[in-house]
Amino acid sequence: MATPHIEAEKGDFARTVLMPGDSLRAKFIAENYLGDARQVNGVRGMLGYTGLYKGEKVSVMASGMGVPSIGIYSYELFRFYDVENIVRIGTAGAVDERLSVGDVVIAMSAATNSNYAAQYRLPGTPAPTADFSLLMTAYQAAELLGKRVYVGSVLTSDTFYDDADSLREWQKIGILAIEMECAALYLNAARLGKKALTICTISDCPFTGESASSETRQTAFRDMMQIGLDMAAGV
């Protein structure tokens, strides 16, 4: 039962899907971590794979960049493919100056400047929040791997190149990092009664100019991949 954006059949996806933004990162994870991996989606170049990790069925599929893109793909996976858990594994820019390139952030909640939640016609402002059980499983997986992670709030922004220098203002209320997808994922999960989590690796530090290359972003940020896979095998 294909959707407008996913060609897979019912049952092709595991209950838990890891979602990097980049299709090449999805391909890298499938080829390097999953056993018996097979491609289940290629529509619009948005690659998706399902295979085995530690004996458990796990899927990985790209989300594309930004709120509208992950909004589409996560909704279709939750709504039409019986996916229960989606874990975004992507990159983010540091807002908290303790963070450096390569550090891992787990998003407990997401502030946003997106208008995505307007569709729900709520009489107030929602608070996009991770599922606690997924968050705890990921945190425990990181501890077992001996990996340090930062847990807190991120900012989901609709703009990558922003004319306004507003990061200092977000820094004042404890935002750890800025990315472009988390809030939409959390809102979709909440609306559909599903579970979601975001695990990000810091790829650039706007205040210092430190930045990772595109190749590094695709293949070298393995801590978040390992944490995501270990938690997927445990939920």
pLDDT in tens, 141-160: 999 999 999 999 999 999 99
Identified catalytic residue from 131, 158, 204, 230? 204
What is the C-alpha to C-alpha distance for residues 101 and 198, in angstroms, rounded to an integer?
17
Domains and CATH numbers, the chain: 16-234 (3.40.50.1580)
Mean of all residue pLDDT scores within the chain: 95
Q: Is 204 a catalytic site residue?
A: yes
Helix-, strand-, coil-residue percentages of the chain, each rounded to 5: 35, 30, 35
Collapsed DSSP state (helix, strand, coil) of residue 223: helix
Residues near 119 by Cβ (< 8 Å), separated by ≥ 6?
none
pLDDT in tens, 71-121: 999 999 999 999 999 999 999 999 999 999 999 999 999 999 999 999 999
Q: How many CB atoms lie within 10 A of CB 197?
A: 28
pLDDT, residue 1, reads 67
pLDDT in tens, 161-200: 887 788 999 999 999 999 999 999 999 999 999 999 999 9
Q: What pTM does this model have?
A: 0.96
Assess contact for 55 and 11: CB atoms under 8 A: no
Q: How many CB atoms lie within 10 A of CB 100?
A: 11
